[in-house]
Amino acid sequence: MTAGRLARCAAVVATVLAALVPEVTAHQAAASPRVPGALRGLDVSGYDGNVDWSSVAAKGAAFAYVKATEGTGYTSSYFAQQYNGAADAGLVRGAYHFARPDVSGGREQADYFVDHGGTWVADGTTLPGALDIEYNPHGDTCYGLTPKAMVGWIAGFRDEYRARTGRAPVIYTTTGWWSSCTGGHAGFGATDPLWIANHTGQATPLPAGWSTYTVWQTAGAGDFPGDQDVFNGTRENLTAFALGDYTPPPPAPAWPLVQQGQSGRRVTTVQYLLNARGASLAVDGQFGAGTREAVVAFQTTQGLTADGIVGPRTWQALVATVRQGDTGPAVRALQEELNAHGASLTVDGRFGTGTRDALAAFQTAHDLTSDGIAGPDTWLVLVS
């Protein structure tokens, strides 16, 4: 968003250049196209100037968030044109506040926000105000606060905004910033709707405490002025959210990124699947140099970008369809994943009736075709 846009862009560029992850970069480049079936919107600020809202509406935007304030000393001079213009064009719109925890307390900034355009009314066309809490464009990423102090600052803003308006604010953030600057605090998901910023082409992973999102900022540019967003629901859901009564569905499954330095179940699955494709890895759940080399070798044979990172395209090439009667490392991977989802299988690499029954039960629970065969759709839900 405006004050944070340069900081976010710099952080993304630095991360990409440092890690040299072509698979991620290519996926980021695909983030601007429309998310199929999504209810589209945008967020703007003084940086975007006067907005032609009739044109925005004609292109299909259903909602907008407009920057109102920052800290306790800045109000956007374009707020009235943008906020009122969006409403006049038929968009459901709300205001957002760019947090500056380094200049004053959370309660003070909530009051400033409400007093300068950030209030909420139950008219079905006004979204609850949003707190934009993210990378500091002026200095220390976490504004000089410890995770405990940051959590207290956000709670102060949330409590004061709710006391003033009757609604908890939406929280706009990134998963990386949240993890670093709140210590992965999980206490806001029960009260505050999430507006997740993720320009990689998928909304997940989400910050700690949230199992779903309400708004997803998908890109920094596109069909509309400002940043591009989607709402997790229908137009009727958007109206319900504006009125206050809406619980968004869980995000769609997405292939995770697995790379060097990570550990855990997904790494174990990758190692088993690589072994099923001819590698000879010790399956220890640790993504070290040996696992990276095996990923690179597999990617090379498949004509993929050989970056050593298991992203969507590598996953789709790596997973193997397995069924009753099969044996080997891919079956072990399946059994480990099923156990992680509540089964109690012996991980022996033999696809017998017990593995089939556990797989069919998992498929039924996740609205998949319950055929007892682990194909790409089932693997996607298992590892996402």
| b/e per residue 251-270 (b: at least 16 CB within 10 A) | bebbbbbbbbebeebbbbbb
The count of other CB atoms within 10 Å of the CB of residue 20 is 11
Active site residue 132: yes
User: Residue 143, by phi and psi: left (phi above 0), alpha (psi -120 to 50) or beta?
Assistant: left
Phi, psi for 287 (deg, rounded to 5): -90, 90
Q: Which position among 134, 160, 326, 336 bears the catalytic label?
A: 134
What is the distance, to the nearest Å, from the Cα of residue 51 to the centroid of all Cα atoms in its chain? 27
* Contact partners, residue 163, CB within 8 Å, separation at least 6: none
Active site residue 336: no
* 205: preceding bond cis by omega (within 30 degrees): yes
Side chain identity at 277, as an amino acid letter? R
109 exposed, middle or buried (CB, 10 Å; 0-12, 13-18, 19+)? buried
Q: Which position among 111, 132, 307, 336 bears the catalytic label?
A: 132
Q: What whole-number distance in Å separates Cα of residue 68 and Cα of residue 80?
A: 9
Active site residue 43: yes
Q: Which position among 43, 192, 229, 326 bears the catalytic label?
A: 43
| b/e per residue 310-331 (b: at least 16 CB within 10 A) | bbbbbbebbbbebbeebeebbb
Type and span of the H or E element at 196: strand 194-197
Catalytic residues: 43, 132, 134
